[in-house]
């Protein structure tokens, strides 16, 4: 018996690039062939995973995918952002060719965002494109990488510089995989969940306030709903802006300040979601100084970020100039004008390139440190 019969899973259909695929969310889906097998292109299946995830979930996923004369193999890569290189993707291609896999094979990504990005890119370019199924096992990848089709690897000169847009045939999210996720990483994923509420849906924001304790206690129903609503908001924003000119930039709330923190502290010392948490607090405070939020609303935003287990203060060692040095390089900027994603009100974001320099300098100087 699979857990999904005990606690029914839910499903969202994403429609992008003239393709349509389902995101299945619920507890125990990793064991459920019905959630996986319909999306395989043929009998050849290659699971791409890493050394952290494999001992926990690989055998269960393999069992669910096996049967009917299927040839299910795996490639287990090292863990970590530093492995997100073309050399790792070449290892996937080598494994596919050594196995004699043809154009009707399917790649299944089992792991977090790094595994999903690499397996998706490998699928996009193997024999000019093969089927791809995502089984994301971190909250961040479940709410971020499930929608948008971005795949790729880092280059010594920049993150995600080499890649392709490639949509999965299905995304299968087993909320039980979050039980083995370090709580710091759960909180980091919650930063992106909160972001979706802040930029697009004040009702979802209120729901998060009421359910944050349940989410951090890994309540399956709360997680399922949070993930589905997050994916639905991202799908709506991406669909409205497939060329990535306007709306989609709103997904970067907190990210401009956050990237500055990550870059200054060294990637990996602050988790991405932790930096985004502090960054969203900074964006909320700047929105207040521009007259768009009141004190109570900023306090509400900060309380929710704190409740998720995330920082709302910047690193002690970081000066205003340290922030500006990275922020000036942000891709959103046009003609050297800083463009920031801010909150025009709770549940609605905007792109703003006219923050008075004095106001920004003051915020960066006096925003609380820890």
Q: Which residues are catalytic?
A: 128, 150, 192, 234, 244, 248, 252, 255, 259, 272
Beta carbon of residue 219, minimum distance to a second copy (angstroms, whole number): 36
Report the residue number, 130 or 205, with the smaller CB distance to a second copy: 130
Q: Which two tokens stand for residue 73?
A: 């193999």
DSSP letters for 27-84: TTGGG-HHHHGGG-SSSEEEEEEETTTIIIIIHHHHHHH--TT-EEEEEEEPPSGGG-
Contact with a second copy (CB under 8 A) among 11, 34, 161, 329: 161
Position 128 contacts a second copy (CB under 8 A): yes
- Which region among 23-31, 41-49, 154-162, 228-236 touches a second copy (by CB under 8 A)? 154-162
Beta carbon of residue 255, minimum distance to a second copy (angstroms, whole number): 18
Do the annotations mark residue 138 as ligand-binding? yes
Residues shown for the chain:
370
Contact with a second copy (CB under 8 A) among 21, 126, 196, 292: 126
Q: Three-state SS for 133?
A: strand
Mutual angle of helices 272-289 and 357-366, in 10-degree steps: 130
Beta carbon of residue 99, minimum distance to a second copy (angstroms, whole number): 10
Degrees to nearest 5, angle at CA 227 with 50 and 250: 100
Beta carbon of residue 309, minimum distance to a second copy (angstroms, whole number): 33
Contact with a second copy (CB under 8 A) among 58, 76, 164, 214: 164
Instruction: Tell me which residue of 118, 105, 184, 176 sits closest to 142, measured CA to CA.
Output: 176
Q: Which two tokens stand for residue 27?
A: 């507890």
Do the annotations mark residue 200 as ligand-binding? no
Position 163 contacts a second copy (CB under 8 A): yes
Instruction: Tell me which residue of 210, 123, 204, 205 sits closest to 167, measured CA to CA.
Output: 123
Position 129 contacts a second copy (CB under 8 A): yes
DSSP letters for 8-25: --EEEEEEETTEEEEEEE
Beta carbon of residue 299, minimum distance to a second copy (angstroms, whole number): 39
Q: Which two tokens stand for residue 142?
A: 């479940």
Binding to a second copy in span 91-120, by CB under 8 A: 93-94, 97-98
Pairing mode, strands 340-345 and 150-155: unpaired
Position 152 contacts a second copy (CB under 8 A): yes
# residues contacting a second copy (CB under 8 A): 26
Q: How many C-beta neighbours within 10 Å does residue 58 have?
A: 17
Instruction: Tell me which residue of 34, 232, 71, 207 sits closest to 143, measured CA to CA.
Output: 232
Cα separation values, 213 from 144, 181, 201, 223, 303, Å: 21, 17, 20, 11, 13
Contact with a second copy (CB under 8 A) among 158, 266, 291, 357: 158
Strand partners, 352: 340
Report the residue number, 124 or 198, with the smaller CB distance to a second copy: 124
| Contact by Cβ (8 Å): 147, 131 | no
Contact with a second copy (CB under 8 A) among 53, 110, 114, 124: 124
Question: Annotated binding residues for NAD(+), as ranges?
Answer: 79-84, 113-117, 137-138, 150, 159, 177-180
Query: Annotated binding site for Zn(2+): which residue ranges?
Result: 192, 255, 272
User: Contact positions toward a second copy, by CB under 8 A?
Assistant: 18, 86, 90, 93-94, 97-98, 121, 124-129, 150-152, 155, 157-158, 160-165
Return binding residues. Answer: 79-84, 113-117, 137-138, 150, 159, 177-180, 192, 255, 272
């Amino acid at each position: 018996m699979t857990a999904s019969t005990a606690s029914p899973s839910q499903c969202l259909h994403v429609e992008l690039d003239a393709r349509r695929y389902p995101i299945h969310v619920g507890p125990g889906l990793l064991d459920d062939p019905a959630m996986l097998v319909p999306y395989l292109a043929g009998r050849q299946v290659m699971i791409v995973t890493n050394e952290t995830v494999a001992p926990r979930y690989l055998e269960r996923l393999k069992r669910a995918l096996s049967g009917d004369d299927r040839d299910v193999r795996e490639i287990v890569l090292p863990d970590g952002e530093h492995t997100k290189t073309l050399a790792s993707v070449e290892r996937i291609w080598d494994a596919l060719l050594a196995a004699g896999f043809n154009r009707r094979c399917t790649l299944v990504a089992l792991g977090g965002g790094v595994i999903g990005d690499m397996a998706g890119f490998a699928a996009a370019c193997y024999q000019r494109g093969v089927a791809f199924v995502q089984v994301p096992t971190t909250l961040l990848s479940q709410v971020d990488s499930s929608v948008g089709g971005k795949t790729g690897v880092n280059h010594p000169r920049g993150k995600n510089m080499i890649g392709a847009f490639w949509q999965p045939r299905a995304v299968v999210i087993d909320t039980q995989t979050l039980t083995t996720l370090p709580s710091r990483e759960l909180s980091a994923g919650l930063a992106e969940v909160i972001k979706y509420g802040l930029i697009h849906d004040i009702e979802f924001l209120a729901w998060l306030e009421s359910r944050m304790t349940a989410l951090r206690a890994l309540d399956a129903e709360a997680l399922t709903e949070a993930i589905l609503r997050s994916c639905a908001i991202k799908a709506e924003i991406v669909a409205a802006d497939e060329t990535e000119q306007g709306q989609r930039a709103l997904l970067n709330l907190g990210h401009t300040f956050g990237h500055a923190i990550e870059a200054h502290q060294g990637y990996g010392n602050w988790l991405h979601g932790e930096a985004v948490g502090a960054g969203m607090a900074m964006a909320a405070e700047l929105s207040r100084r521009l007259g768009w939020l009141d004190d109570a609303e900023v306090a509400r935003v900060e309380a929710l970020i704190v409740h998720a287990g995330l920082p709302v203060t910047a690193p002690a060692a970081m000066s205003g100039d340290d922030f500006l040095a990275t922020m000036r390089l942000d891709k959103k900027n046009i003609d050297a004008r800083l463009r920031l994603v801010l909150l025009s009100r709770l549940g609605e974001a905007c792109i703003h390139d006219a923050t008075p320099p004095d106001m920004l300098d003051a915020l960066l100087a006096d925003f609380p440190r820890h």
